[in-house]
Amino acid sequence: MSRKYALGIDLGGTNLRVALVSEEGEIIRKIKRPSSDIMASLDTSVREMLREGVSGIGLGVAGLTDRKMRRVHASPNLPEIEGIDIVHELHRRFGLPVFIENDANAAALGEKIGGAGRSFDHFVMITLGTGIGGGIIYKGKLLEVAAEIGHMSISSEGEKCPCGNTGCLENYASARAMTAKAVAMLEKGGDSLLKDCCKGSIYKVTPEDIYNAALEGDTLSREILRDAGRYLGIGLANLINIMSPEAIILTGGLLGAWNIYVQEAIKEASRRSLRDLFSSVRIIPSSLGDNAGVVGAACLVFMSLGDIPPA
Amino acid sequence: MSRKYALGIDLGGTNLRVALVSEEGEIIRKIKRPSSDIMASLDTSVREMLREGVSGIGLGVAGLTDRKMRRVHASPNLPEIEGIDIVHELHRRFGLPVFIENDANAAALGEKIGGAGRSFDHFVMITLGTGIGGGIIYKGKLLEVAAEIGHMSISSEGEKCPCGNTGCLENYASARAMTAKAVAMLEKGGDSLLKDCCKGSIYKVTPEDIYNAALEGDTLSREILRDAGRYLGIGLANLINIMSPEAIILTGGLLGAWNIYVQEAIKEASRRSLRDLFSSVRIIPSSLGDNAGVVGAACLVFMSLGDIPPA
C-alpha cells in the first residue's frame, strides 16, 4: 500500500512554514518563507510540495479559528488574513480537503503526536514568540477551546492590548514586549551593552541581542528577561490553578533564553500556584520546536480521515 | 423496582448541606447546618438522612480534592478539614461508597444534570460567595481539572492571598472582599448608610447590607459593588478567552446583587474578551442555586454506579 501524506502549514507569525508530512508524523520536506503576501506565498509553497498521496492540507493559523465553519475569526498578529476565506481558497485551487486550527492548538497536537507531549495525557502547550499562544491537550486529545492564553489579563490596570483587553500576558512576557521594553529603557538613556549592538540603532534590538547581552552580564538585559519571566510565571500559575495539567510544554523563539527567562518564570509559578498542583506539574521544553505546528496541522488531515486513531 | 437514592453533601463554606437525592436528581429532603465541628455535624446529618435505597455518599468540598486518592489536598477556606481523611471516615462509619469532588465542580455537575446547564455542552460555572470557585463542563461532562478560578491572579502586583498567590480574583470580587473593603472605607470615615446598619458595628457589615444600601442610592456601597463587578469581569474575560464556553453560569450568595455587581461584570467582560468569543457566550444565573452542590455531589454516586449515563 502506498504511503499517505498531508501538507501541514503553520501560519504562525512572521514566517510561513509548509511541510510534507507522512502519516507517521515524519517531516519529508519543509519550506519556510516570509508571511508577507500570504496567498501568493501559500500558492507557490503548496505547488512545490504537492505530490502523489497527499490527502489534504492542514492549516495552523495565529488567531481565532472557527473549526466548524473553517474560517479565521480574528488574527490580531496577522491581520492581513482576516479578510481571506483561506480554507475555501486553498480548496478551490488544489481540490484537496482543507482543515484549520489555531496555530498553538496545532502545535499542541503535534507535540502530543510526535514530541515532548507523547507521555502526557493532559498538558498545556505555550508558544513563546512575537505573541504568546496556547493549546491544551486533555485526556490525550486537543481540547477544543480558544486557549488564547496570551490574552489572559494578569494586570487589571495594565497596558492596553491591541485585542481590546488591558494587561494581557502577551504585553509583558512576549518577544515583542521584551524588545519594546529594551527600546524604551534605552531611549531613556539606560546604560547597556545593547547600545552597541544592532548597528547602532536601538530600534533594531532583538530578543537574541537581549539574551546575549544578558549572558555577558548586562544588567538592563538581565532585568528585562527576568521581568518578562516573572510575568510569564503569573500566567503559568494561573494555568496550573485552573487546568491542573501534568505538564506545561514551552516552545517558540524565546526558549533560547531558558536559563534566565524560563527559570524565572518557573520560580514565580512555584511561588504563586497552589502547592499541591505545582508539585505535580512538569515544565519542560518542546521537543519538536518549530516543527510542532506543521506536524500538528498535518495531523488534522490524518485525524479527519481516521488514519490516526485519536490518542 | 425500588428507587435509588444518594446522599449529596456540600461542604462549601460556612454551612454544611446534606440532601437525600433521587436518581432523577430530585431533592427529597435537605438539612443545612453550620460547618463548625464538621465530623460531628456530618455524622448527625447523615444518620438523620439514611434510609433504604441509599447507595452512596457524594461529597463536594471547598478545596483541592484528589479524585483518585479520594482525599482533600488543601482547603484554604475550610482549613479544619485538611487533616481529616473524610472519605475514609464516612465510609468507616456508614459502610457506603463515598466519592469526593471540589464543591464548585460538583455544583457544575448538578447544574448540568438538572439546572441551567442542561442545554449547554460546554460551560463554566462560577460560585460567588465567601470565596470564588469554579467548575467546567466540556462536551457534556465534568472537566477533571482543578478549576480554581478564584485563585487566578488578575493583578500582578496585587494583594497577598492566603493561598500564597498575589492578586487573586477572590480577593477583589468575593463577598469577603466586598465586606473587607466596606469596613476599610468606613474605618477611614467614608460617608455611607452602612454606618447605621449592623447595630452600629461596622465590622458586622454583610454583602446584603451593602446591596441594600446600594439600592437606596448609597454611593460608597454602589462603588464597592461596581468595583467587585469590574474585577469579576476581568476573571470572566480571561475564562472566555481561554475556555471559549457557550455559557458562564453564576451561582452563590452574591447573585442577589445581580443588577449592580453582575451587570458591571458582564460589561467589563464585554470590553475585555475577544469580540467573537464574547458574542457567543451567554452569562446567566444558576437555576438550582444553593442546591446545585448537593445534587452534583449525589450525581457522583449515581455516575460511579453507572445509573446516570455520562451526559
Residue B265 and residue B247 in one domain: yes
Average pLDDT over residues A25-31: 93
**pLDDT tops 70 at residue A76:** no
pLDDT at B1 over 60: no
Using CB atoms, pick whichever of A165, A234, A272 lies closest to residue B237.
A165
User: Do both A157 and A298 map to the same domain?
Assistant: no
Cβ-based contacts of A138 with chain B (< 8 Å): 138, 143, 145
> Which residue did the predictor score with more confidence, B236 or B75?
B236
**Is A108 in the B-facing interface, judged by CB distances under 8 Å?**
no
The H or E element spanning position B27 is strand B27-34
Question: What pLDDT, in 10s, does the model give residues B88-123?
Answer: 999 999 999 999 999 999 999 999 999 999 999 999
Same domain, A175 and A30: no
Q: Is A134 on the interface with B (CB under 8 A)?
A: yes
Which of A130-134, A167-171, B13-17, B217-221 is the least confident region?
B13-17
Tell me: do A164 and A207 sit in the same domain: yes
In-domain check, residue A310: no
**Domain limits at B282?**
119-287
Torsion angles phi and psi, residue B287, rounded to 5 = -100, -20
Q: Is the pLDDT of residue A310 over 50?
A: no
The stretch B237-251 carries a mean pLDDT of 97
Same domain? For A55 and A161 the reply is no
Determine the average pLDDT of the residues in A106-124.
95
Residues of A in contact with B156 (CB under 8 A): 154-155, 158, 167, 172, 231, 234
pLDDT-derived band at A1, boundaries 50, 70, 90: low
| Residue B217 belongs to domain with CATH number | 3.30.420.40
Tell me the C-alpha distance between A123 and A92, whole Å: 36
User: Does residue B95 sit in helix, strand or coil?
Assistant: coil
Query: Looking at the structure, do residues B16 and B36 belong to the same domain, yes or no?
Result: yes
> For residue B309, is pLDDT > 60?
no
Q: Do A164 and B271 lie within an 8 Å CB cutoff?
A: yes
The reply to whether A216 falls in a domain is yes
Nearest chain B Cα to A154, which residue?
B154
Residue B311: inside a domain = no
Residue B309 within a domain: no
Give me the residue label for grid cell 492566603.
B162
Question: Of A77, A145, A149, A157, which to mutate for an interface test with B (greatest number of B Cβ within 10 Å)?
Answer: A145
**Is B246 domain-assigned?**
yes
Q: Do B64 and A147 touch (CB under 8 A)?
A: no
Q: Which of A148, A243, A276 sits opposite B241 (nearest CB)?
A: A148
Q: Is A243 found in the same domain as A138?
A: yes
Q: Is A276 on the interface with B (CB under 8 A)?
A: yes
Q: What is the mean pLDDT of residues B249-273?
A: 93
Q: Would you say residue A311 lies in a domain?
A: no
Same domain, B193 and B274: yes
DSSP state of B132: E
pLDDT digits (tens, 9 = 90+) for A268-278: 999 999 999 99
Average pLDDT for A176-205: 89
Q: Which amino acid is at B170?
A: E
| pLDDT greater than 60 at residue A32 | yes
Q: Model confidence at B65, in pLDDT bands (50, 70, 90)?
A: confident
Q: What is the pLDDT of residues A254-301, one digit of tens each?
A: 888 888 999 999 999 999 999 999 999 999 999 999 899 999 999 999
Q: Are residues A161 and A270 in the same domain?
A: yes
- What's the mean per-residue pLDDT of chain B? 91
- Contact at CB, A274 and B134, closer than 8 angstroms: no
Asked whether residue B101 falls in the same domain as residue B125, the answer is no
Residue B234 belongs to a domain: yes
pLDDT band at A77 (very low <50, low <70, confident <90, very high): low
Q: Are A42 and A134 members of one domain?
A: no
Is B177 a domain residue?
yes
If one counts the domains in chain A, the total is 2
- Do B276 and B300 share a domain, yes or no? no
